């Protein structure tokens, strides 16, 4: 074929800025939608996306990828793997699908926002491809989740994949608040930067790392699905990296750093609650590749240092706080979810058999003296048949930023703190100094938010009872969670653990 090389015409396909005269340029690119930093068109005209793709190549490559991914789906339909898969593994699938899939769909709009309001022609084109990618991710995962509906194993929990983020479940509220802040409510430039932090570092964690666990678990269907999805990320994740480069060259490094700092923390909290639990408690012990902390160090921290270090950015100011939290934060989240399983749409395993506790102690020295102390009490109550003592009766205090329970370190090294703030006559609660700092960067963005506890206390949730609470969170007996192993894990403890 005597076709031209892409480089012969590529620049022209992204040289698409002109000087409008029938309307004002700032009507086409309102600062709030495009660029609140006020960089000139001369800066944006330099936008040069590192990963280039043509429409022609895009549709061919993506078609091939989908052929492979959907072939695996056919295998899923025929296989009985999922009829027999461990409850812990099924839990991971449900929590992933229910939290993630419609966030992907919303990201199609995030990418299209860059496709419309990005001031660089190349940025707009990459946003268009990115938008298609996110539709792909949504639709492929919906097909797979839909398969699970028909298998009869907690179908209502798999149905959360389609509507979960359309409910006021506390987990989905957390997901929405986080991703709306990062991806959906800022100008295209800021959105690009914050979304890139999310995609370059954290999606690697959920997708690549989980794929490794999935392969070990024998779930080749899920492994292949999410690896296929992640192969798209590298390209559109770069959109914001180039925005960062341009802004830093234009002398706006401090603004970029702040956006990176906010995005990294908000992502950290969300992924700790989602992936931390999956890796250290839900994945059956014999299938665990690494601990959550190890994966964070290998994928997130290393990737972050590489990508953002290359741009001349610093590690966020709170890095020591983050490194400390890596050791303990998600353990408290797991306790909270396990103690309130009827507030989530999956069945949480306890993950604290003697062998599992040994593993946890090995990975997180001091676990037994801290979180282990809570589990000692819980285990004893399970063994003694005191079920009423292992359900929380009240909802914990919720962080006004992450929307996660405010947790800390229990037991011998007790350290729990509400980083509260009194602002304009209202008290806000935060799970960390960093969450509070984020609020203070732009209080107007956050101050009117009412978290789920506020809604309980201000009468929004009716009736103001446990039943009303569960109804508000769209859960019922078919969809809410229960211990994944029906407490049989406690039988692994020797008899002397029991009271009588």
Partner 1 sequence: MSKAKGLRTWPHLAARRRRPSEYEIVSTNLHFRTMFEEYSELSPSIPMNRWYRKYVRESPLQHDDWDAFRDPDEVTYRTYTVMQDGQETYVDGLLDEHDELGHDRSLPDDWAATLARLYTPARFMLHAVQMASAYVVITAPSSTVTCCAAYQMSDALRWVARVAYRTSELADHHPGLGFGKNERSIWEQDPAWQGFRELSERALVAYDWGEAVVALNVVVKPAIDEAFLRQLPAAGRRHGDLLLGLLTDAQLRDSERSRRWTKAFVEFARQRAGNEEVLARWVEKWAPLGDRAIEAFTAALPESPEAGATAVRDARAFRSGLGFVS
The correct pick among 449, 454, 493, 497 for binding partner 1 (CB under 8 A) is: 449
CA distance 425 to 448: 12
Please identify, using beta-carbon distances, which residue of 13 and 301 lies nearer to partner 1. Answer: 13
For residue 427, the SS3 value is: strand
Q: Which of residues 162-201 bind partner 1 (CB under 8 A)?
A: 162-163, 165-166, 168, 173, 176-177, 180-181, 184-186
Asked if 128 interacts with partner 1 (CB under 8 A), we say: yes
Asked if 48 interacts with partner 1 (CB under 8 A), we say: no
Tell me the DSSP string of 433-461. HHHHHHHHH-HHHHTT---HHHHHHTT-S
Asked if 79 interacts with partner 1 (CB under 8 A), we say: no
In 150-169, alpha helices (H) = 155-158, 160-163
CA distance 224 to 71: 10
Asked if 56 interacts with partner 1 (CB under 8 A), we say: yes
Q: In this chain, which stretch among 139-147, 244-252, 351-359, 371-379 interacts with partner 1, using CB under 8 A? A: 139-147
Rg, Å, the chain Cα set: 24
Encoded tokens for 328: 């303990």
CB atoms within 10 A of CB 29: 20
CA distance 76 to 84: 13
CB atoms within 10 A of CB 321: 14
Question: Least distance (Å) from partner 1 to the CB of residue 86?
Answer: 11
Beta strands in 351-432 (DSSP E): 421-423, 426-428
Encoded tokens for 113: 């926002």
Which residue is associated with the tokens 């923390």? 265
CA distance 323 to 330: 13
The correct pick among 44, 85, 89, 113 for binding partner 1 (CB under 8 A) is: 113
Asked if 132 interacts with partner 1 (CB under 8 A), we say: yes
Asked if 494 interacts with partner 1 (CB under 8 A), we say: no
CA distance 263 to 192: 11
Question: Least distance (Å) from partner 1 to the CB of residue 294?
Answer: 31
Question: Least distance (Å) from partner 1 to the CB of residue 28?
Answer: 5
Question: Least distance (Å) from partner 1 to the CB of residue 249?
Answer: 24
Question: Least distance (Å) from partner 1 to the CB of residue 132?
Answer: 6
Question: Least distance (Å) from partner 1 to the CB of residue 78?
Answer: 16
Asked if 122 interacts with partner 1 (CB under 8 A), we say: no
CA distance 176 to 103: 8
Total residues binding partner 1 (CB under 8 A): 87
Q: Which of residues 271-300 bind partner 1 (CB under 8 A)?
A: none
Asked if 37 interacts with partner 1 (CB under 8 A), we say: no
Q: Which of residues 289-348 bind partner 1 (CB under 8 A)?
A: 347
Asked if 66 interacts with partner 1 (CB under 8 A), we say: yes
Asked if 75 interacts with partner 1 (CB under 8 A), we say: no
Asked if 238 interacts with partner 1 (CB under 8 A), we say: no
Please identify, using beta-carbon distances, which residue of 23 and 394 lies nearer to partner 1. Answer: 23
Question: Least distance (Å) from partner 1 to the CB of residue 12?
Answer: 4
Which residue is associated with the tokens 């964690």? 205
Question: Least distance (Å) from partner 1 to the CB of residue 156?
Answer: 7
Q: Which of residues 140-159 bind partner 1 (CB under 8 A)?
A: 140, 142-143, 146, 149-156, 159
Please identify, using beta-carbon distances, which residue of 313 and 399 lies nearer to partner 1. Answer: 399
Encoded tokens for 384: 């003694």
Encoded tokens for 239: 């959109």
The correct pick among 21, 286, 320, 422 for binding partner 1 (CB under 8 A) is: 21
For residue 276, the SS3 value is: helix
| b (16+ CB within 10 A) / e for 108-131 | bebbbbbbbbbbbbbbbbbbbbbb
- Report the helix count and the strand count for the chain, using DSSP H and E: 26, 2
Asked if 63 interacts with partner 1 (CB under 8 A), we say: yes
Which residue is associated with the tokens 């009271």? 499
For residue 405, the SS3 value is: strand
Question: Least distance (Å) from partner 1 to the CB of residue 205?
Answer: 23
DSSP 8-state assignment for residue 415: B
The correct pick among 87, 276, 341, 348 for binding partner 1 (CB under 8 A) is: 87
The correct pick among 76, 112, 247, 438 for binding partner 1 (CB under 8 A) is: 112
Q: In this chain, which stretch among 16-24, 40-48, 216-224, 280-288 interacts with partner 1, using CB under 8 A? A: 16-24
DSSP 8-state assignment for residue 45: T
Asked if 20 interacts with partner 1 (CB under 8 A), we say: yes
The correct pick among 40, 59, 391, 463 for binding partner 1 (CB under 8 A) is: 59
Please identify, using beta-carbon distances, which residue of 163 and 319 lies nearer to partner 1. Answer: 163
Q: 426-428 and 421-423 as β-strands: parallel, antiparallel, unpaired? A: antiparallel
């Amino acid at each position: 074929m005597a076709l031209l090389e892409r480089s012969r015409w590529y620049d022209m396909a992204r040289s698409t800025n002109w000087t409008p005269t029938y309307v004002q340029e700032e009507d086409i690119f309102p600062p709030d939608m495009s660029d609140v930093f006020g960089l000139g068109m001369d800066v944006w005209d330099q936008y040069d996306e590192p990963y280039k793709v043509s429409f022609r190549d895009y549709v061919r490559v993506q078609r091939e990828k989908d052929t492979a991914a959907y072939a695996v789906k056919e295998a899923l339909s025929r296989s009985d793997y999922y009829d027999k898969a461990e409850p812990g593994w099924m839990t991971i699938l449900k929590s992933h699908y229910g939290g993630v899939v419609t966030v992907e769909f919303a990201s199609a709009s995030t990418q299209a926002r860059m496709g419309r309001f990005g001031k660089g022609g190349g940025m707009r084109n990459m946003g268009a491809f990115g938008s298609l990618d996110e539709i792909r991710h949504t639709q492929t995962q919906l097909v797979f989740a839909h398969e699970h509906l028909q298998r009869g194993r907690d179908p209502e929990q798999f149905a959360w994949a389609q509507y979960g983020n359309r409910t006021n479940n506390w987990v989905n509220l957390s997901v929405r608040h986080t991703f709306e802040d990062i991806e959906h409510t800022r100008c295209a430039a800021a959105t690009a930067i914050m979304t890139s932090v999310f995609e370059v570092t954290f999606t690697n964690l959920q997708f690549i790392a989980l794929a490794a666990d999935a392969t070990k678990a024998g779930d080749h269907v899920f492994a292949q699905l999410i690896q296929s999805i992640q192969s798209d990320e590298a390209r559109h994740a770069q959109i914001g990296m180039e925005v960062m480069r341009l802004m830093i060259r234009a002398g706006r490094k401090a603004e970029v750093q702040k956006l990176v700092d906010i995005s990294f923390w908000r992502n950290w909290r969300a992924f700790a609650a989602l992936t931390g639990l999956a890796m250290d408690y839900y994945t059956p012990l014999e299938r665990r590749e690494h601990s959550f902390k190890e994966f964070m160090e290998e994928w997130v921290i290393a990737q972050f240092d590489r990508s953002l270090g290359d741009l001349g950015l610093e590690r966020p100011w709170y890095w020591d706080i983050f490194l400390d939290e890596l050791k303990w934060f998600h353990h408290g989240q797991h306790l909270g979810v396990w103690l309130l399983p009827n507030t989530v749409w999956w069945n949480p395993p306890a993950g604290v058999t003697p062998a599992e506790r040994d593993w946890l102690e090995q990975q997180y020295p001091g676990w037994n003296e801290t979180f282990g102390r809570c589990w000692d009490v819980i285990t004893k109550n399970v063994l003694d048949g005191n079920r009423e003592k292992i359900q929380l009766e009240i909802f914990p205090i919720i962080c006004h930023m992450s929307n996660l329970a405010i947790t800390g370190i229990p037991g011998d090294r007790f350290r729990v703190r509400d980083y509260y703030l009194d602002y304009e006559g209202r008290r806000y609660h935060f799970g960390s100094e960093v969450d509070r700092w984020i609020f203070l960067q732009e209080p107007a963005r956050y101050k009117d938010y009412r978290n789920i506890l506020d809604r309980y206390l201000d009468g929004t949730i009716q009736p103001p009872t446990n039943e009303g609470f569960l109804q508000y969170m769209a859960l019922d007996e078919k969809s809410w969670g229960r211990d994944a192993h029906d407490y049989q894990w406690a039988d692994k403890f020797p008899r002397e653990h029991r009271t009588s």
